[in-house]
Structure 1
Amino acid sequence: MTARLERYGAVTVLPVMAAPAEYGAHLRARIQPLMTGIGPVEAAVALTAALARLEARGERPDLIVSLGSCGSRTLDHAAVYQVDSVSYRDMDASALGFPKGVTPLSDLPAILPLPCPVPGVATATLSTGANVVSGAAYEVIDADMVDMETWALVRAAQTFDVPLVALRGVSDGRAELRALEDWTSTLHHVDENLAAVWDRLGAVLEAQGLRALDRRAPDRLDPAHPAAPELIA
């Protein structure tokens, strides 16, 4: 499938997803995303290659929007959240004296902030890594949600000086994962809710353009009392 740039007012948008399982009927009716494959390596390689091709054709997008599922032990399942910051849980050079999450000998912080342009859609923090987090593994995660691509996508986007918005729907996390179906069983709800937030994002971009990205996260989400404005179950 060839990715299609979407246009909202003066803003061109490249939608990006990881897996066909997350790309349900509601999103299919709206977008034709770049499909990267699962995990940080596949995500970085695919997005970097796509942006290089687009730039060579003079079609570099104004904005990248990453859509997909995530895990969370505390947030409402099927609800969609804007990612207000992302960390990279695989990076650990603490044996060399670097704080966990900090890439050695770089000027990158351990946590990268992201824009949250859609009013009324709750925000949450995200941890990216190559492992599927389940059960007790959540105890060492210092973020509201987990995924396997967003940090890598942000770094690829930064290389081309393109901003990125990340939208994540919670597919799993409350119970131990034991089979593929434990991830996929809620994806049809996540698809519907992601599509609803996509429509709202498009309306914001139509009205405000890239100025909408100046809007940062409002009051931080309290995981003990999570807001879930986009929940269709």
Structure 2
Amino acid sequence: MSHGLHRFGSVSVLCVMAAPAEYGLHLQARIQPLMTGVGPVEAAVALTAALARLEAAGDLPDLIVSLGSCGSRVLDHAAVYQAASVTYRDMDASALGFAKGVTPLLDQPAILPLPCPIPGVPTATLSTGANVVSGAAYDAIDAEMVDMETWALVRSAQTFGVPLIALRGVSDGRAELKALEDWTSTLHHVDENLAAALDRLIAVLEADGLAALEIPAFEGQDPAQLSPDSITP
């Protein structure tokens, strides 16, 4: 395994995470991810550089799997969700007549859909931006969860023609954030649940390969209908 590359069945997978704090014992037992650093700029720079090196070596992955934490004030605490879509909350060129979230002069919609191939793992919408969202700041965000990397990772992956799956565990959001510990205190639970979701993804990839990405989200994966226990193997 190098540069976060793994092989699950016939599928070559690059696993990507942002911060070592999210990389707990359960994930350590399964993967060696590419660490990008926090925020959309670091994520885009690190992943693009890694993919360029892999492409030059003739070792471009078939799939990128992004794993990490997120904030949400509506989803279950410590539960893991597949990101069904992602938006870029920092982009606002509405003064020039563009819809909020649409990057000017780029042929991309404001909402990018993502594959959700894992049965039993609920789905949710995701918003990416450079700010840590807390308290009343959620009022301005339509998505069910927030992070700081996924949109950037998706755009980097698109540049190389590689699909991306994003798995996010809810680390915070119900209460106002006041210290770093308000984020890190839940990460050991998130790590365990991310590992369980990853095991399910590995099983799907080993059984169906990349064809699994073409399967629509399974009925019953509404996050409002599933508990965190539903992803326990």
What TM-score do you get using the length of structure 1 for normalisation? 0.95
Deviation of residue 4 (structure 1)? 3.0
List gaps (5 residues or longer) in structure 2.
none
Q: Distance in 2 between matches of 1:144 and 1:221?
A: 14
1:187 aligns with 2:187: yes
Deviation of residue 9 (structure 1)? 1.1
- Paired amino acid for 2:94: S
Q: Distance in 1 between matches of 2:225 and 2:119?
A: 19
Deviation of residue 115 (structure 1)? 0.3
Q: Distance in 1 between matches of 2:219 and 2:141?
A: 21
- On the 8 A contact 2:122/2:222 being kept in 1, the answer is no
Distance 1:192 1:39, change over 3 A: same
Q: Distance in 1 between matches of 2:130 and 2:232?
A: 27
- On the 8 A contact 1:79/1:231 being kept in 2, the answer is no
Q: Distance in 2 between matches of 1:224 and 1:59?
A: 39
Q: Distance in 2 between matches of 1:163 and 1:175?
A: 34
Deviation of residue 86 (structure 1)? 0.2
Number of aligned residues: 232
Deviation of residue 225 (structure 1)? 5.1
Matches within 5 A, 1:9-158: 9-158=9-158
**For each residue in 1:102-151, what CA deviation from the matched residue of structure 2 results, as whole angstroms up to 9, or x when unmatched?**
01122100000000010111000000000000000000110000000000
- Spell out structure 1 runs of 4+ moving beyond 6 A: none
- On the 8 A contact 1:19/1:37 being kept in 2, the answer is yes
Distance 1:221 1:125, change over 3 A: farther
- On the 8 A contact 1:69/1:147 being kept in 2, the answer is yes
Distance 1:181 1:12, change over 3 A: same
- Paired amino acid for 2:13: V
Match of 2:204 in 1: 204
- Paired amino acid for 1:193: N
Distance 1:231 1:199, change over 3 A: closer
Deviation of residue 231 (structure 1)? 6.5
CA RMSD of aligned residues (A): 1.7
Over the matched positions of the two proteins, sequence identity in percent amounts to: 78
Q: Distance in 1 between matches of 2:204 and 2:127?
A: 26
Q: Distance in 2 between matches of 1:203 and 1:156?
A: 26
Q: Distance in 2 between matches of 1:165 and 1:152?
A: 13
- Paired amino acid for 1:10: S
SS at match of 2:231: coil
- Paired amino acid for 1:35: M
Q: Distance in 2 between matches of 1:174 and 1:231?
A: 23
Task: Tell me whether 86-95 or 219-228 shows the greater mean CA deviation.
Answer: 219-228
Distance 1:118 1:223, change over 3 A: closer
What TM-score do you get using the length of structure 2 for normalisation? 0.95
1:230 aligns with 2:194: no
